[in-house]
Chains A and B, each alone.
Chain A
């Protein structure tokens, strides 16, 4: 175990002792015990950053877990993992600090639950980004789903929280299962090459060979399904707005900076394997762009600050996803540096990933402050907070300007690069982009306009306008310093990255790009990461200016469309699919169960009989198994005819008799005639037993006779009666056909009976002359022993049923 293994395990270990600390030190806010964990991890991870400008050192360590299945806890720290791990620990520390002030240390707040779930989540998330083994990655992946649901339902007494938690759980776990199937396919594919492995690095090293596998495309689609559900891409984004019922620190941490980026991480991680394929390019880019558009359009109709931010997150995740898709085209060109023109999209994706984590985290925290200090998040009630909450206002201004893509903040830079990426990909002459490529910049531009509009709504509706104290629960005032420190740190990062973007260039962005696009560079080379504010008068700049102009124009005219249904409907229309689908599953399965589980014994017997008849008929037809052998038929003596005809007549008459005593007697007649058959076929012991037992049975029936109900005429509906008749005859035919075939086949196969042995040895070994009895008590004595047991159990059962009654029935 190296130190790196403990990076992911440390939060889990601390989570175990948190409840004890919570019980022991009630007066200290539990968050203070949690805070050192992400802080120390962050400081530890910073050491791995290549600060001196040299190439990043890649660390790898393996601890065996289930070596026989190839499942090992392998940590692998390259640029991409480091970027995510720093985000998780850094923002994690800020969120813990924020939550200490946000969630009051009250008696009814289960703080230990909160921090245990949060630490579980943090550890799982670190595990996801650090694991090199697919199965370990999957385990951590599901722990993030689980802990995220637990956090969403933190206030579990609220119905909406439970709904949101269930929804996010169902959607992300469904995607997780698809991803697991994709991983299994990858394992199978490498197994076909002779070296089955779960290691991502090794799988990527086989990328050239794996492309030809028929399982390549299914594996790609399944893994993408997992990534899209986790990262809230269209149409799986519907869980994210409902997850806003979680406490705000959770929303800031999980639903803006970390968990929703797990899908982004997965896509980036698998780009070296799947990138360069047309399907990957179109699916990732298309879904990303459409999600961006859908999210930004939906965001402007929200009335709740957190909902606006949720849809904004969806939109921004779509942006990053589409950039990853566009950038994957660079892998198609094998020549070094020829693809680096297109790799600008990957650069933009990584840069925007960092930017989004900073500004969206700070915005969520700001919304939490507004909620905390005014008691509402409804933009219709808010307004005029600028003067009342100056610090909060400043932080929001920075965050929102960055989100809208305004200079000089970092959002502007990534937005510019996003436009560059879309414009450049338009000129790609692969994957048929030349015909449809013009859609990319158009969609990107429209989505940016809507992004600008909702940013304006967010800003102006909260901080400008009239202050309406009568609508607020509390008197609005500035938040305590503890709540403000984390967003201040994030906002200063927004400004710093805005003014000095190249701080990130060779420390974070270049190593991450090398992980996503391996093989594009020769040894020792580095990507040309230079981010400038001023590119000259290029199309990107004009696009940004147009975004601002059109956005302002539409925002000013927004009141005209306020009353349209488009703006009235806040909930995403796709929720109907989810809700109706879930209800449909329940009612559908209830319907099926009602249809099939009638509670009638007869129906269940019918199912079995019809199945038996069907199976045997199918077998006979399929294998053409019917055989008959009428060649050596023995002559039937006349007395046998008589016996058999009487048996048949008695049997058939039985259902028609409607007197109890007559049917009992007819049943007795059949039994005695069976005994007679045993006599005819030379089975003296059988005949004896049958006679005795038939007598006892008839006596038993007659004993119970006066207590038994009157037989009625069979009075089922004629339709059912005919069906019963058909099934019964079918059953008889099946028996007859099988019997005749078996009989004929036995002559063909010429198998000798083992009975020769019994006949020869019953005297020598068993010491008896009656062979049947010797078999019963000597050769096969175990049968007899258990048969005695059956009789005793039946006797005990009969006695119990008659003697022991729970309710007051009459005694016999």
Chain B
């Protein structure tokens, strides 16, 4: 099961890398979102997916899944959301100011 998850995360990261290398700002933003998904899944997987109850003490269980990576991922999700929102608005503003979403055309300016 872990191997499958690792391969999935690898494929997601692969696709996000490809998106990061494209010319369109919007696709780059998609790439960033996808990259964070891949990384979150990877963190979860590397901690181990073996059995256990959800990390809630009320359940009368003998073993629990690891709570620490879940806390880490929770933090990561919120931060990547903040970053994504920021990058999206940044991309929007760039498009409005420069009338293009092509990263190849967004190089240098008159001040250089």
Known pairs A634-B1, A654-B34, A708-B26; A735 contacts B78 (CB<8 A):
no
Q: Contact partner of A682 among B22, B52, B75, CB < 8 A?
A: B52
A609-B17, A727-B21, A769-B56 in contact; A776/B75 too (CB < 8 A)? yes
Contact B74 A709, beta carbon cutoff 8 Å: no
A95 to B93 alpha-carbon distance, docked (Å): 69
Contact yes or no, A743 B46, CB < 8 A: yes
Residues of B within 8 A of A772 (CB): 55, 67, 70-71, 74
Inside 8 A of A651's CB, which chain B residues have their CB? 11-12, 15, 34
Whether B57 pairs with A601 at a CB distance below 8 angstroms is no
Chain B contacts for A554, CB-based, 8 A: none
CB pair A740–B3 under 8 Å, yes or no, is yes
Inter-chain contacts of B101 with A (CB < 8 A): 708-709
Complex contacts, B66 vs chain A, CB 8 Å: 753, 755
A809 to B37, CA, bound (A): 34
Contact of B6 with A743 in the complex, beta carbons under 8 Å: yes
Q: How far is the CB of B64 from chain A (nearest CB, A)?
A: 6
Residue of B nearest to A606 (CB): B21
Which B residues, 11 to 45, have Cβ-Cβ distances below 8 Å to chain A? Answer: 11-15, 17-28, 30, 33-34, 37-38, 40-42, 44-45
Nearest-Cβ distance from residue B3 to partner chain A, whole angstroms? 6
The stretch that binds B, out of A48-56, A520-528, A697-705, is A697-705
Please tell me if the beta carbons of B18 and A759 are within 8 angstroms of each other in the complex: no
B37 to chain A, nearest CB (A): 5
The residues in B between 40 and 65 inclusive whose CB is less than 8 angstroms from any CB of A are: 40-42, 44-50, 52-58, 64-65
Known: A648-B11, A689-B74, A776-B75. A636 touches B1 (CB 8 A): yes
A709-730: CB near B (< 8 Å → 1, else 0) gives 1011011100000001101110
The reply to whether B74 and A731 contact each other, CB–CB distance below 8 Å, is no
How many residues of chain A get a CB closer than 8 Å to chain B's CBs? 96
Flag if B67 contacts A759 (CB, 8 Å). Answer: yes
Pairwise interchain contact A696-B81, C-beta atoms closer than 8 A: yes
Q: How far is the CB of B45 from chain A (nearest CB, A)?
A: 7
Say whether A639 faces chain B, with CB atoms less than 8 Å apart: no
Question: How distant is B90 from chain A, measured CB to nearest CB, in Å?
Answer: 6
CB under 8 Å from chain A, chain B span 69-88 = 70-71, 73-75, 77-79, 81-86, 88
Give the CA-CA distance A663 to B17 in the complex, in Å. 16
Measured between beta carbons, the chain B residues less than 8 angstroms from A791 are 78-79, 81-82
A602 within 8 A of B: yes
Within 8 A of B (CB), among A407-422: none
Shortest Cβ distance from B96 into A: residue: A809
A633, A655, A682, A810: the one within 8 Å of B54 (CB): A682
Residue of B nearest to A713 (CB): B24
- Residues of chain B within 8 A of A743, CB atoms compared: 2-3, 6, 45-46
Are B22 and A716 closer than 8 Å at their CB atoms?
Answer: yes
In the assembled complex, which residues on chain A have CB atoms less than 8 Å from the CB atom of B53? 682
Chain A minimum-CB-distance residue to B99: A709
B21 / chain A contacts, CB cutoff of 8 Å? 602, 605-606, 724, 727-728
Question: Is A45 an interface residue when CB atoms closer than 8 A count as contact?
Answer: no
A776 touches B10 (CB 8 A): no
A674 at the interface (CB under 8 A from B): yes
Q: Which residues of B contact A663 (CB under 8 A)?
A: 26, 30
Query: How distant is B80 from chain A, measured CB to nearest CB, in Å?
Result: 9
B97 lies within 8 A of chain A by Cβ: yes
- With the chains together, A701 CA to B34 CA distance in Å? 14
Given contacts A636-B4, A693-B81, contact A755 B68 (CB under 8 A): yes
Residues of A within 8 A of B89 (CB): 704, 797-798, 801-802
* Cβ–Cβ contact A711 & B15, under 8 A: no
A715 to B23, CA, bound (A): 8
A295 to B70, CA, bound (A): 80
Whether a CB of chain B sits under 8 angstroms from the CB of A660 is yes
Q: Which residues of A contact B28 (CB under 8 A)?
A: 601
A758 within 8 A of B: yes
Contact of B57 among A600, A690, A769 (CB under 8 A): A769
Are A652's CB and B96's CB within 8 A?
no
CA separation between A693 and B7, bound complex, in Å?
A: 25
Interface string of A768-783 (1 = CB under 8 A from B): 1111100110001001
Known: A791-B82, A797-B86. A769 touches B58 (CB 8 A): yes
Q: Which of B3, B33, B45, B71 contacts A633 (CB 8 A)?
A: B3
Chain B residues with CB under 8 A of A746 = 46, 48
CB distance from A205 to the nearest CB of B (A): 60
Q: Give the docked Cα–Cα distance between A740 and B1 (Å).
A: 11
**B6 in contact with A711 (CB, 8 Å):** no
Contact across chains for B30 and A697 when beta carbons are under 8 A apart: no
Partner of B90, one of A660, A732, A801: A801
B37/A728 in contact, CB under 8 A? no
Q: Are A776 and B54 in contact, with the CB atoms below 8 A?
A: no
Q: For A648, give its contact among B8, B71, B90 (CB under 8 Å).
A: B8
Contact B92 A704 (CB under 8 A): yes
A377 to B72, CA, bound (A): 82
Instruction: Write the nearest CB–CB distance from A729 to chain B, whole angstroms.
Output: 6
In whole angstroms, how far apart are the Cα atoms of A636 and B25 in the complex? 38
Q: How far is the CB of A366 from chain B (nearest CB, A)?
A: 55
Q: Tell me the complex Cα distance, A684–B22, Å.
A: 35
- Given A660-B26, A787-B78, A801-B89, answer yes or no on A763-B57 (Cβ-Cβ < 8 Å): yes
Q: Is A711's CB under 8 angstroms from B12's CB?
A: no
Residues B68 and A682 in contact, CB atoms below 8 Å apart: no
Judge if A397 is at the interface, Cβ distance under 8 Å: no
Q: B97–A689 contact, CB under 8 A?
A: no
A685: interface (CB < 8 Å): yes
Closest B residue to A628 by CB, please name it.
Answer: B3
Residues from chain B with a CB closer than 8 A to the CB of A724 are 18, 21-22
Interface positions of A from 3 to 59, Cβ below 8 Å from B: none
Which residue of the partner chain B has the closest CB to A714?
Answer: B22
- Residues of A774-812 at the interface with B, using a CB-CB cut-off of 8 Å, are 775-776, 780, 783-784, 787, 790-791, 793-795, 797-798, 801-802, 807, 809-810
- Which chain B positions have C-beta within 8 A of A633? 1-3
Determine if A807 and B97 form an interchain contact, defined as CB atoms under 8 angstroms apart.
Answer: yes
Complex formed: what's the CA distance from A598 to B104 in Å? 10
Given known contacts A732-B11, A735-B13, A674 and B22 CB-to-CB distance under 8 angstroms: no
Closest A residue to B66 using CB positions: A755
Instruction: Judge if A566 is at the interface, Cβ distance under 8 Å.
Output: no
Question: Which residues from chain B contact A727 at a C-beta distance below 8 Å?
Answer: 17, 21
The reply to whether A739 and B30 form a contact with Cβ atoms under 8 Å apart is no
Is A215 an interface position by the 8 A CB rule? no
The chain A residue with its CB closest to the CB of B22 is A714
- Nearest A residue (CB) for B14: A732
A663 to B97, CA, bound (A): 24
How long is the Cα–Cα vector from A709 to B99 in the complex, in angstroms? 9
With a 10 A CB-CB cut-off, give which of B33, B52, B68 has the most chain A CB atoms: B68
Which residues of chain A from 615 to 643 have a CB within 8 Å of any chain B CB?
Answer: 630, 633-636, 640
Q: How far apart are the CA atoms of A677 and B37 in the complex, in Å?
A: 11
In the complex, which of the residues A670, A683, A693, A809 contacts B78, with contact meaning CB atoms closer than 8 Å?
A693
A810 touching B96 by the CB < 8 A rule?
Answer: yes
Decide if A802 touches B46 in the complex (CB within 8 Å).
Answer: no
Q: A647's contact among B8, B64, B74, by CB below 8 Å, is which?
A: B8
CB pair A732 B67 closer than 8 Å:
no
Nearest CB in chain B: distance from A773 CB, A = 8
**CB < 8 Å: which of A599, A670, A733, A809 contacts B107?**
A599
Q: Are A809 and B97 in contact (CB under 8 A)?
A: yes
Measured CB to CB, the nearest residue on chain A to B29 is A701
Known: A605-B20, A605-B21. A739 touches B85 (CB 8 A): no
Cross-chain contact A674 with B74 (CB below 8 angstroms): no
| CB pairs A–B below 8 angstroms (15 shown) | A602-B22, A606-B21, A651-B15, A670-B34, A671-B33, A708-B101, A711-B26, A711-B27, A715-B23, A732-B10, A769-B58, A770-B56, A780-B71, A794-B86, A795-B85
User: Top 10 nearest A-B pairs by Cβ distance?
Assistant: A732-B14, A794-B82, A736-B10, A599-B107, A739-B6, A771-B67, A728-B18, A769-B57, A771-B55, A709-B101
Name 4 extra pairs, CB < 8 A, besides A636-B4, A770-B57, A801-B90.
Answer: A600-B103, A686-B73, A791-B81, A795-B85
